[in-house]
Amino acid sequence: MNTDINDNILVARAKAGDSKALTVLINRYSDSVLKKANSFKDLSGLESDDLYQEGMLGLLAAVYSFDESRDVLFSTYVSTLASRKMLSALKKANSKNNLPMRSYVPLEDETNLLSGAPTPEDLLIFNEELDTINSFVENNLSKTERKVFKLNLLGLSYNEIAEILDCGVKSVDNTLQRIRKKIRNIK
């Protein structure tokens, strides 16, 4: 696939199920997500790999929720969602409930840790996992469940999702419970 294609066209293709378009977008923005993850790593005990994964989830959420009619560049949208996912992970990691995890002693020597840059193998595995997730979402979730799932990926609260979808908070909770049950039943 031509990697010089406009982001908006790639996003539209990815939303339509084109895994090659999604791969081009992931490859195009993975470096910027990694740089952002590295800039946040000093804010807590989270490693840059964990932040990078959260940022990549933000990238995935950006692909599926991007609306070009809102007059925002896709690159700006990716940066915003990736940052929000990383900040959310940082807040969670720094919460009182997570104190035991923050005070652990790593078993590995720091010299053995990776530099934080994804290897080609890491990218391949990530892309395969992403294809599996996309396939599951498209083939196993109803239209409403897909909407709730994608909004939940963006880090929105139940109240915010209910407001956007014009339904009750309990309906959002029930939908997420159904999604969790379907995910648990994956074999």
Task: Tell me the per-residue pLDDT of 9-26, one tens digit each, with 9 for 90 and over.
Answer: 999 999 898 889 999 999
Helix (H, G, I), strand (E, B) or coil at 97: helix
Say yes or no to pLDDT of 95 above 80.
Answer: no
**Minimal CA–CA distance to 7: which of 57, 67, 53, 55?**
67
Tell me, what's the pLDDT at 183?
80
Tell me, what's the pLDDT at 110?
47
For residues 28-37, average pLDDT:
90
**Higher pLDDT residue, 159 or 3?**
159
Tell me, what's the pLDDT at 115?
54
Tell me, what's the pLDDT at 131?
80
pLDDT digits (tens, 9 = 90+) for 100-133: 554 554 555 444 445 566 778 877 888 888 787 7
Using CA atoms, how far residue 26 sits from 29, 111, 178, in Å, is 5, 28, 29
Say yes or no to pLDDT of 168 above 50.
Answer: yes
**Higher pLDDT residue, 49 or 113?**
49
Percent of the chain surpassing pLDDT 90: 25
Tell me, what's the pLDDT at 177?
93
Task: Classify domain 7-118 by CATH number.
Answer: 1.10.1740
Tell me, what's the pLDDT at 113?
47
All structural domains of the chain with their residue ranges: 7-118
Tell me, what's the pLDDT at 128?
83
What is the CB neighbour count within 10 angstroms for residue 82?
27
Tell me, what's the pLDDT at 111?
43
Sign of the Cα pseudo-torsion (13, 2, 153, 81, in order): negative
pLDDT band of 84, cuts 50, 70, 90: confident
Say yes or no to pLDDT of 41 above 50.
Answer: yes
